[in-house]
Structure 1
Amino acid sequence: MNQGPHVVVIGAGFAGIQAARELSRQGCLVTLVDRHPYNTFQPLLYQVATGGLNPGDVTYSLRNFSGKHRGVRFTCGAVSGIDPEGRTVSLDDGRTIAYDYLVLGFGVTANFFGLPGVAENALPMYTRAQAIACRDAVFGRLEHYAALPEEERATKDLHIVVVGGGATGVEMAGSLAEMRSTGVPNMYPELDRKRVKVHLVEAGPVLLGPFGHDLQEYTYDEMVKRDVDVRLSTSVARIDASHVYLKGGEEIDSDVVIWGAGVGAYDWVRSLGFELGRGGRIVVDQMLRVKGQDRIFAAGDCSIIEDQFLPQLAQPAMQMGVHIAGQIVSHAKGGQLERFEYWDKGTMATIGRNAAVAEVAIPGRHKPVAFTGFVAWLLWVGVHLFMLLGGRNRVGAMINLGFRYIAWGSNTWNIVGDLATPKRAKRSAAEAEAEND
């Protein structure tokens, strides 16, 4: 039986899961708190949005997680307040949880940068519900377009706009482009696939900004090869129900707008009373303690380390979660805390079938090794399957992705969802967003 300190972990993302797992191994009692009863593997949400995977393939029961880790208990609830003096966490249903140590790992949400009409007319893709809303919007618009009279379809295009040229935007645009080229002819033989347009809008001068120049150029070339309309150094000014308006006066017709242009802190984080840094993220010191606190730690995207920039990716969050577990155990025993040092193992993004980019750190080499094409794609598949929680999820995702690869070009792009009208889909995404605020 675990006899260590009682640690409350808020948030079951990459950081929270790793912290809870490591704390359990080191004999602590852990209460894992999340507003959802499942963990979501966010890097594969775009596959849910385009019908490649089922929602259950990328979500994992937190009850199952706690049942497999000794000393871990799961509580489903939303945090309404934290009392550092009394060492308690309050939930919105009135419950109070006492702690010896507290770990904050609740992540971030979509950032609309205050642009007019974006929250109302664009679909973020940061949660399971949002990915399903994206899927239903694309499916609904295709069905609506197919139902138009032939003479009207002959003069009208269907426009899907993806905003953001990071990994989320690139992966989503590439998947949509392949659906348009391979799936539409099979699913909708009455449609001219050339009239289904995919646009990718990025404010910066390159796609995949954190990657090396050669990989950025490869990504751009692959997007163009897939007939994606790529707009670099192009910022969105506002969005309405039928157009994306760009700074400079240009506009793009839009039937569906998918927003992957950035993330920001939840609004309710300000009420916690901690010092906030860029993007509304909680400031932590080099030991990952929340500034001004000795028993509260923060990890992952919800935190920002003083004088140390870390990418908002899974690897930093996971390493921070493990490091915090060690810090807590050491502090409880009267030991010294250690400075967090991030080891960049590399990063990767997929563009489409047999096309991906990867930078992998090799011990002894100063620079990461770059891969493109099929080799990078295999690395991407292997790493993401390995990182999924639960054997069932790994097998299910492997079967679905493998079937799509083997049966490419037949019925592998049949998106199944509700026939959501644009307004309904956008309202569903807005409701999903509100649930996470």
Structure 2
Amino acid sequence: MDSHRTAAGDRPPHVVVIGGGFAGLWATRALARAPVRVTLVDRGNHHLFQPLLYQVATAGLSAPDIAAPLRHILQRQRNVTVLMEAVAGIDTTSREVRLERGDVLRYDYLLLASGATHAYFGHDAWAAHAPGLKTLDDALHIRRRILSAFERAEIESDPAEKRALLTFAIVGGGPTGVELAGTLAEIARHTLKREFRNIEPRDARVLLLEAGPRVLSTFPESLSAKARQQLQALGVDVRTGVPVNAIDAGGVLLGEERIAARTVLWAAGVAASPLARALEVPLDRAGRVPVQPDLSVPGLPDVFVAGDLAAVQQDGKPVPGVAPAAKQMGRHVAAAIAAHLAGKPAPPFHYRDYGNLATIGRMAAVVHLGKLKLSGALAWWFWLTAHIFFLIGFRNRLVVMLNWTWAYWSYQRAARIILGRDEDNPNP
């Protein structure tokens, strides 16, 4: 332990955690009783429950329902300092983290858990026309585009443009794409019913575009097939096996077919945070850091990487970039640091798979838990209960439960307020 004392001599070792997501927050909380001082750095002031981010994007929930201030979550943990700052660089030789405003944090242990961002497979120009969904800002932007499309269609006189405004294309058939498509179909067919005079919202066209052979490719084929059936029952046009070749302000090019759509949403891929490059170590093709069994960086035993930024193999397969895995990695890093301080070897990380869940719409979902496979209403209740349980804070759970109960009986969505204005959508 003495070898990790700071220059002050009598101060406990300093752990710097970059990122307040699942991995960073769970590591920080797990260090509550450790003889260390922790500095948690995040460019935002809140922890976000990302699995429900699509609910904010589709006006089902408001931002505070699925987010909580980091300072509030950690207010009773006296060994933690929270800094709302962006990281400019990392010097692993001098053990320093440089912040954008110029301050320098010296560390004894470093956890890099800055997550992932959108990946457009080399077509970065698509980002301007097909926003992805990773942050609250993304969700509010997408919500504005979706709701504004109906408003613009209401005042549009050209039939072709009206059809384009009422066409929504979601690129990517993973859980986020499936959830967005199913919810959009419900908004068009139920939530907005009888609210417009010049358009019929139920005529809106929702397309889910997946280049692979099936949606929800990480689920068993039987559940993928049931998910597709449930999407189609909601009115979603599911296209698989054909890649998107171009995206612009007018729509998408699906193979050789041109689809006019004024709202295109991206749910097809993610890339690791560019901050990984600051470590100056080899990265995998997705920009993630291949780590040691204890989640430390090869050659840097005092630097750990967790969450979406870590490339971890288990039983010959990559550990998935999901919230349960990030939480487990965060807790493991805390245990590894405690082992280091005690002069003991850190145990290897082992991911415990709790299964996959994806919701499609009202009373429609799929659940895969080991040998258990559920779909339909039972899977939807399971999904709902699990997500309410894992939300941080009693207030969040209560508000979400009340909103969902009201939405279930009324088909209404609580957060349908358009804020701001998009430059490419000048009309209110």
Q: Provide the TM-score with structure 2 as the length reference.
A: 0.92
The 1-side partners of 2:264 and 2:164 are apart by 17
How far residue 29 of structure 1 moved from its aligned partner, in angstroms, is 1.8
Residues 294 and 149 of structure 1: is their aligned pair in 2 closer, same or farther, counting only changes over 3 Å? same
Residues 136 and 99 of structure 1: is their aligned pair in 2 closer, same or farther, counting only changes over 3 Å? same
The 1-side partners of 2:287 and 2:162 are apart by 48
1:416 maps to which residue?
A: 417
Residues 64 and 12 of structure 1: is their aligned pair in 2 closer, same or farther, counting only changes over 3 Å? same
The 1-side partners of 2:165 and 2:29 are apart by 50
1:237 maps to which residue?
A: 245
- Of 317, 339, 363, the residue aligned with 1:330 is 339
SS at match of 1:31: strand
Confirm or deny: 8 A CA contact 1:211 1:359 kept in the other structure: yes
Confirm or deny: 8 A CA contact 2:171 2:177 kept in the other structure: yes
SS at match of 1:97: strand
Q: State the number of aligned residues.
A: 415
- Of 78, 89, 93, the residue aligned with 1:81 is 89
2:4 maps to which residue?
A: none
- Of 146, 149, 155, the residue aligned with 1:138 is 146
Confirm or deny: 8 A CA contact 1:199 1:230 kept in the other structure: yes
The 2-side partners of 1:157 and 1:137 are apart by 10
**Cα deviations across residues 57-104 of structure 1 (Å, max 9, x unaligned)?**
111101112213231110111111112222221111101111111111
The 2-side partners of 1:359 and 1:159 are apart by 32
**Cα deviations across residues 361-381 of structure 1 (Å, max 9, x unaligned)?**
xxxxxx431111122111111
How far residue 154 of structure 1 moved from its aligned partner, in angstroms, is 8.0
One-letter amino acid matched to 2:322: L
1:318 maps to which residue?
A: 327
Structure 1 unaligned blocks of 5 or more: 361-366, 426-437
**Cα deviations across residues 110-161 of structure 1 (Å, max 9, x unaligned)?**
1111126411211111110000000000111110101124977887761110
- Of 260, 267, 270, the residue aligned with 1:263 is 270
Residues 119 and 175 of structure 1: is their aligned pair in 2 closer, same or farther, counting only changes over 3 Å? same
The 2-side partners of 1:70 and 1:242 are apart by 53
How far residue 354 of structure 1 moved from its aligned partner, in angstroms, is 0.7
- Of 326, 342, 346, the residue aligned with 2:351 is 342
Residues 120 and 148 of structure 1: is their aligned pair in 2 closer, same or farther, counting only changes over 3 Å? same
**Cα deviations across residues 317-347 of structure 1 (Å, max 9, x unaligned)?**
1111111110000011100111111110111
2:58 maps to which residue?
A: 50
The 1-side partners of 2:160 and 2:260 are apart by 16
One-letter amino acid matched to 2:401: M
Residues 333 and 122 of structure 1: is their aligned pair in 2 closer, same or farther, counting only changes over 3 Å? same
Confirm or deny: 8 A CA contact 2:14 2:36 kept in the other structure: yes
1:305 maps to which residue?
A: 312
Matched, 1:397 2:404: no
**Cα deviations across residues 277-314 of structure 1 (Å, max 9, x unaligned)?**
13011121111001211100010101102565111111
The 1-side partners of 2:257 and 2:43 are apart by 41
1:283 maps to which residue?
A: 290
Residues 226 and 413 of structure 1: is their aligned pair in 2 closer, same or farther, counting only changes over 3 Å? farther
1:221 maps to which residue?
A: 229
Identity %: 37
SS at match of 2:326: helix
The 2-side partners of 1:162 and 1:336 are apart by 47
1:371 maps to which residue?
A: 374
One-letter amino acid matched to 2:37: L
**Runs ≥4 residues deviating over 6 A:** 150-157
Confirm or deny: 8 A CA contact 1:109 1:266 kept in the other structure: yes
**Cα deviations across residues 255-295 of structure 1 (Å, max 9, x unaligned)?**
10010001002334323312211301112111100121110
Confirm or deny: 8 A CA contact 2:359 2:380 kept in the other structure: yes
Confirm or deny: 8 A CA contact 1:139 1:419 kept in the other structure: no
Confirm or deny: 8 A CA contact 1:164 1:260 kept in the other structure: yes
Matched, 1:16 2:19: no
2:208 maps to which residue?
A: 200
1:358 maps to which residue?
A: 367
One-letter amino acid matched to 1:284: V
Confirm or deny: 8 A CA contact 1:102 1:296 kept in the other structure: yes
- Of 103, 117, 124, the residue aligned with 1:95 is 103
**Cα deviations across residues 382-421 of structure 1 (Å, max 9, x unaligned)?**
111122122221212111112111223xx44772113645
Confirm or deny: 8 A CA contact 2:165 2:262 kept in the other structure: no
The 2-side partners of 1:25 and 1:218 are apart by 46
Structure 2 unaligned blocks of 5 or more: 1-9
The 1-side partners of 2:54 and 2:286 are apart by 24
Residues 267 and 3 of structure 1: is their aligned pair in 2 closer, same or farther, counting only changes over 3 Å? closer
Confirm or deny: 8 A CA contact 1:164 1:201 kept in the other structure: yes
How far residue 193 of structure 1 moved from its aligned partner, in angstroms, is 3.0
1:119 maps to which residue?
A: 127
SS at match of 2:105: strand
2:391 maps to which residue?
A: 388
SS at match of 2:386: helix
Confirm or deny: 8 A CA contact 2:30 2:331 kept in the other structure: yes
Residues 107 and 154 of structure 1: is their aligned pair in 2 closer, same or farther, counting only changes over 3 Å? closer
Q: Provide the TM-score with structure 1 as the length reference.
A: 0.90
Residues 214 and 189 of structure 1: is their aligned pair in 2 closer, same or farther, counting only changes over 3 Å? farther
Confirm or deny: 8 A CA contact 2:48 2:66 kept in the other structure: yes
Confirm or deny: 8 A CA contact 2:116 2:270 kept in the other structure: yes
Deviates more, 1:113-122 or 1:382-391: 113-122
